[in-house]
Amino acid sequence: MSTLKRKAGTLSASDSKKPKQDGSIMSFFGAPKPAAGNKGAGSTAAGAAGAAAAPEAPAVKFDKAKWVAGLTAEQKELLQLEISSLHESWLALLKDEVTSKEFLDLKRFLNRESDAGKKWFPPKEDVYSWSRHTPFNTVKVVILGQDPYHNVNQAHGLAFS
């Protein structure tokens, strides 16, 4: 019994695949769909153009200096890393979490470990590097994961970089 196979055609140099001009991950997913609330807006060209544009998220109003001024002396000491290196857009959203009892207990534990001469990874200056590389307004998806932090020059604080 013979099988029929399609013969592979030969491609000339001019027929080879060309990379797309806008071949980024963002172009793959395309523009956001209009919100469901815009259905009754009408079908004019101007209405369609307005519906296609995604509304800007309201800017988070956060006064970092005022927030820091409201912290206790112990909180300021424990949260020095967050105050100095966590991007302000994330700090505005995480301010209640970083002042929680559990987070402050974690900071106390890490300070005891450091005082005992133990190393922990990533290095302090890299713990919040993710927030500086990705301010909140640029984030579309957050994937939580874990890097195996073993030793010096291995940990960088970006699990899926």
Point out the residues that are catalytic. Answer: 147
Q: Which run of H or of E encompasses 26?
A: helix 25-29
> Residues 6 or more apart from 27 whose CB is under 8 A from it?
20
Would the CA dihedral through 53, 55, 57, 61 be positive or negative?
positive
| Category of 117 on φ-ψ map: left (φ > 0), alpha (ψ -120 to 50) or beta | left
CA distance 34 to 30: 12
Q: 130 near 157, Cβ under 8 Å?
A: yes
